[in-house]
Structure 1
């Protein structure tokens, strides 16, 4: 065994809340299973109300991977929240065996608890009686989880960003990075979910670009969960959404203001954000997901199941393959970054694209 059993955690650790930078605060959400960590960063009181952002981490991540984004967006008027699912960050920890067999729906319930918690906190903060929907920004496997909970009607959002998010139309292609070593490592991964991310070098090659400083990699490595569920990633290997089942759980669709006599298109409430050097959720894989959602979106508009838009408003255009907004779906490739866009040295590149999209919602 190349790394030995002592490189990995085999027993249940106590929740270990990570140190927080200025402007980031911690609270918890009570659930029937146990408390979940919720980080938040609020804009200045004088800011006009913008959509609240809820950041959802991917496999082995936690709420703290989003602190740079949370500081960036709260300074620009957005209330920002980030949730840690069970077994991650400062949330409650199942045993390694219990986490291993945790199914997708259980983790999805944690994400939905985060959505409901943010809705309640924002309603109280704004002193609003009506419902306050949130915009969900989901990374990696958290993207697959977000598509799952929406497709199953477990919650609704007013916008969804798949930030290097695992596509819900089948995720086999996201594991080709490990394909050559899979025959060697599979038996060890069968016993421990983090075997392929046991060392700094492994984390570096999967999550960052080659020239990323090792100190940056270690900063993220310290935030990673000691073990992960093996069940819900396996449940995402095959397609589990149709497209319309996700889009109809996103609210607030509307046409842009027309210019001249032509239709100006529909404001994209789904953003698929890819990283140029991502070896897991590659740009080509995510472009395919965006195209599938565009086809599904036009089908929804054609049969009239999305309130606020009509077939006249939709535009059918050729994609430029890297950055375009049409048919309710935006797709952009962020240059120079790897899979963990939000933790790179130049993380602002992805944040700027996300900000431009959020400003139009």
Structure 2
């Protein structure tokens, strides 16, 4: 193996937080002050905002990610009238960094606090409160978001699992590395980036084989130098029930009925899977969506969602492949890092359609 353990980073950056790097025109970098340290917040604001019904969007990254992985999405949504934001948790991007071992044992609860700070800050900046924010979370960030919602730490207007790790147990997500991890982990002296230490490893896990090498290297340069090992370990067992997550999503309302038939309920939880994802595979994502769909119908049956009753739900025949309350879609031609692929707009368009449905 050509890359030994000491080519990896074992110390926090200097200065800490790192200096900001140039951003594309239209993006702005600010910070969220927290008791532990400042967190990076990127934003792209529309020159011509949509009506007040257009919610602000907060994009949350997964393991080793950062706010900058969402740059193209932030500009995409700002150009369509939406205020778009992305956060970097501690130890990621241009946020403050704990030391190597401090980050190694950073818990999901601590990182959850960073995510909550981001949701609340966007709600404050946009004057809508946390319940006006739509949260879009990628990979392990989606699992973190499900944990946050299940504990009632915030309430949001909509939630999208974007190539997201399910909160119902995530062991299957990491099976892609099951054969190589026992070799790479001790070889790289148990460094968290043992599975993403080379460009080829990054490509194999995150991209399709046809993705241009320049795009793979660009993402590789944005990955954090080290990561929490405790966070993903704590997310391996089931951490949500389903109803607990849905109960922290607000604004449920039925669509208008027609010809005596129920109009259904717009999905406020959306599960987007990538066709070629080898981690959060379409099958894993579909299983999560089906569990949430069952949870949604159970809440409706118990009359625990304000404004929604069983008479608003369509029969499976009437749904025509679309579900009430919970949406599911496979984005063709892309892999796990949909937002950084050459065809990144495919995922952005799916989110746009979903958000517009929320407003309808």
Question: Structure 1-normalised TM-score?
Answer: 0.95
1:203 aligns with 202
Give matches, 1:46-195, under 5 Å. Answer: 46-49=49-52, 50-123=54-127, 133-188=132-187, 191-195=190-194
Alignment partners' CA distance in 1, 2:318 and 2:219: 35
2:33 aligns with 30
SS in 1 for 2:248: coil
Residues 75 and 106 of structure 1, relative CA distance in 2, 3 Å threshold? same
Alignment partners' CA distance in 2, 1:89 and 1:204: 20
> Is 2:267 the partner of 1:263?
no
Q: CA deviation at 1:259?
A: 1.8
RMSD between aligned residues:
1.7
2:280 aligns with 281
Structure 1 window deviating more from structure 2 (99-108 vs 130-139): it is 130-139
> Is 2:307 the partner of 1:303?
no
SS in 1 for 2:25: coil
Alignment partners' CA distance in 2, 1:96 and 1:237: 22
Alignment partners' CA distance in 2, 1:160 and 1:189: 36
Residues 182 and 109 of structure 1, relative CA distance in 2, 3 Å threshold? same
Aligned 8 A contact 2:40 2:94 in 1: yes
Q: CA deviation at 1:132?
A: 5.6
Question: Structure 2-normalised TM-score?
Answer: 0.95
Alignment partners' CA distance in 2, 1:238 and 1:10: 29
SS in 1 for 2:245: helix
> Is 2:16 the partner of 1:18?
no
Q: CA deviation at 1:6?
A: 2.7
Structure 1's unaligned 5+ residue stretches are: none
1:258-314 Cα offsets, whole Å, 9 max, x none, are 121010110100100000000000000000000000000000001011112111112
Alignment partners' CA distance in 1, 2:88 and 2:182: 32
1:312 aligns with 311
> Is 2:333 the partner of 1:336?
yes
Q: CA deviation at 1:316?
A: 4.0
SS in 1 for 2:316: coil
Alignment partners' CA distance in 2, 1:218 and 1:2: 17
Aligned 8 A contact 1:274 1:281 in 2: yes
Structure 2's unaligned 5+ residue stretches are: none
- After superposing on structure 2, the runs of 4+ consecutive aligned residues of structure 1 that deviate more than 4 Å are none
Aligned 8 A contact 1:156 1:249 in 2: yes
